[in-house]
Amino acid sequence: MNISHIEHIGIAVDNLEESIKYYEKILGLKCYAIEEVVDQKVKTAFFLVGTTKIELLESTSPEGPIGKFIAKKGQGIHHIAFAVKNATEALKLAEKRGVTLIDKESRKGAEGLDIGFLHPKSTNGVLTELCSKQE
């Protein structure tokens, strides 16, 4: 699998602008990017904490994955993302080891990373993302 570090922690929020205020004014972090990922129906905001990022996710549609998550569980930690060498190969390896995949193939995520998700039913309830920089 070749996991090098926790790339980011994804946090579902109701309102990106309001949440950014907490991370900047209370925690003293700096939002360095805001990006919309159209096919995931989210707007994201990023903060760097050491080598790990915090990715805030605001849904742009109640039909999107974050919209559904918030409707069911409210705001909070949504997923953990591990940095791997090659997301496509890591997904294949996870599948070979018996994990149910949400993404059979890696796809393009925020910040241009190759990403893919493992199903929480195979990961003790934690939605898990594998991501790698494009080669």
Shortest distance (Å) from residue 53 CB to Zn ion: 9
Length of the chain, in residues: 135
Which residue, 98 or 112, has its beta carbon nearer to Zn ion? Answer: 112
Closest CA to 113 of 37, 59, 42, 28: 37
**Cα separation values, 87 from 28, 42, 54, 57, 100, Å:** 32, 21, 20, 21, 15
Q: What is the DSSP letter of 101?
A: B
Which residue, 58 or 129, has its beta carbon nearer to Zn ion? Answer: 129
Which residue, 13 or 81, has its beta carbon nearer to Zn ion? Answer: 81
Which amino acid, 17?
A: E
Residues 92 and 103 sit within 8 Å (Cβ to Cβ)? no
Q: What is the DSSP letter of 127?
A: -
Binding site for Zn ion (CB under 5 A): 10, 81, 129
Residues 87 and 135 sit within 8 Å (Cβ to Cβ)? no
Which residue, 85 or 107, has its beta carbon nearer to Zn ion? Answer: 107
Comparing every residue's Cβ against Zn ion, the nearest one is 10
Which residue, 97 or 131, has its beta carbon nearer to Zn ion? Answer: 131
